Structure 1
């Protein structure tokens, strides 16, 4: 098995994330075997794209489709109602790739059977613009080649990595899954602080937005340079930035301990949600 699919890919759900993935796959040519989309509303934008077939529901997917990968891109709460319709394809030669938060590998094995090759993946929302990062975890049936194939599909919307320990997905959910929200909160707080310091509201908001976005791009462009070094490069001895960092880096109540506490809380909640799925 190579990263390029020679057999069809079946995409269940074509919302923002599913649609972004599909667009990436079509541009990269990875779905050489064609794509069948089960989502008449979300798939409407792709119905005239070469190699794409859009259907209304599972009953419209022919039994002889023989998909190489089935991507589950629906909301977690919709999963119970649809999995039974696709169990007919379950087997080691068909990979089920889920991007539904909180749905564990054991959950899918219960619904699809113990012969199903399953990979659970946790993307984040910047994937909708091709700037995300996704971490995937395979079950024991999924082969190394299928894991490689899943990574290739996920790279259509950003970076991708694989872990073998599913317990790590809870921490991934807490860090990168929720990370965009933490970053947006940072922008909010910076903007409010700028207003408190006397800046006009619109200017303060723009300064916060562009500064955070630009710092992220600078960090990416700096390759392996650690964030601590980038921070030090911006911090002049005795300067204004240093005074702010003295507050933000306080050991007892600064950003560091707050972030550790926040990620721990989100990780616990992810475990709780997984235990009930």
Structure 2
């Protein structure tokens, strides 16, 4: 029987991202008996079932049962998996792809041109339920199905809908790959702190807590991050000296070039993987 709040939900692939989404949903009260998963790694699948009480089966079986199917396999095998799955989708479930670099046209070609498909670009903080996901729905996706996709991905973080699919490449550059940028900044701050005499343990703790505090403050403030930055800076003070050094070294241009390279790589990967 259909349940609009808790549709029968299948995961094709049971890796870290699928595990994070399933865990977030169950924690929020999604009935475990309405979730099933499949994966070639039977040990990982059994562990997932033990941890969350969900059902398991092969790809075809869980897809035929489901009202929503989350495609959580690696991009390199998506074509093979989806083409084999196509006969099991005659009942037209909502299909959510969380594979990077696979565009909607390719998914429709492999899964069926009349299928409701939502592309999703999540990021790794979904593992701790602080993720950020960009979503794009094709024209066959109903309003109710959009709500279902938002409910599922909202279990592990925030969701932003995009009307234009090409903007998914920008989402990749901002949030999809973004955690790595912040990790690099943290690495650099820790190393600089050690060079200035702090122990690595102290530099790491101070850096990570500062990153957490800055993000929390930005999320809860009623002013933009530019104003928050200015509020930390006193004229002629220590923070101003650091910020002026960043500006002289072209930090903004560095980020612009890096994120442009990321988006362009996303486009080229989509072309290569979508063949």
Equivalent residue, structure 2, for 1:227: 225
Equivalent residue, structure 2, for 1:97: 96
**Conserved? CA contact 1:90–1:117, under 8 Å:** no
Question: Helix, strand or coil for the counterpart of 1:70?
Answer: strand
Equivalent residue, structure 2, for 1:14: 14
Residue 255 of structure 2 corresponds to residue 259 of structure 1 = yes
Measured on the aligned residues, the alpha-carbon RMSD in Å equals 2.1
Change beyond 3 A, Cα 1:110–1:64: closer
In structure 1, C-alpha distance between the alignment counterparts of 2:77 and 2:91, rounded to whole Å? 24
Change beyond 3 A, Cα 1:237–1:137: same
Offset from partner CA, 1:66-99 (integer Å, 9 cap, x none):
x210001111112122112321243684111000
**More moved, 161-170 vs 212-221:** 212-221
Offset from partner CA, 1:92-140 (integer Å, 9 cap, x none):
8411100000011111111111111111100000001100010110111
**Conserved? CA contact 1:119–1:137, under 8 Å:** yes
Matches within 5 A, 1:99-118: 99-118=98-117
Question: Helix, strand or coil for the counterpart of 2:155?
Answer: helix
In structure 2, C-alpha distance between the alignment counterparts of 1:29 and 1:135, rounded to whole Å? 23
**More moved, 180-189 vs 143-152:** 143-152
Equivalent residue, structure 2, for 1:74: 73
Change beyond 3 A, Cα 1:233–1:221: same
Deviation at 1:33, TM superposition (A): 6.8
**More moved, 256-265 vs 80-89:** 80-89
Superposition TM-score, scaled by structure 2 size: 0.90
Equivalent residue, structure 1, for 2:235: 237
In structure 1, C-alpha distance between the alignment counterparts of 2:133 and 2:109, rounded to whole Å? 24
Equivalent residue, structure 2, for 1:38: 38
Deviation at 1:3, TM superposition (A): 5.4
| Superposed structure 1 runs of 4+ greater than 3 Å apart | 29-33, 48-51, 89-93
Equivalent residue, structure 2, for 1:24: 24
Question: Helix, strand or coil for the counterpart of 2:36?
Answer: strand
Superposition TM-score, scaled by structure 1 size: 0.90
Offset from partner CA, 1:233-263 (integer Å, 9 cap, x none):
111122100110111123xx32211111111
Deviation at 1:197, TM superposition (A): 2.3
Q: Which runs of 5+ in 2 are unaligned?
A: none
Matches within 5 A, 1:103-252: 103-222=102-221, 224-250=222-248
Count of matched residue positions in the alignment of Structure 1 and Structure 2:
270
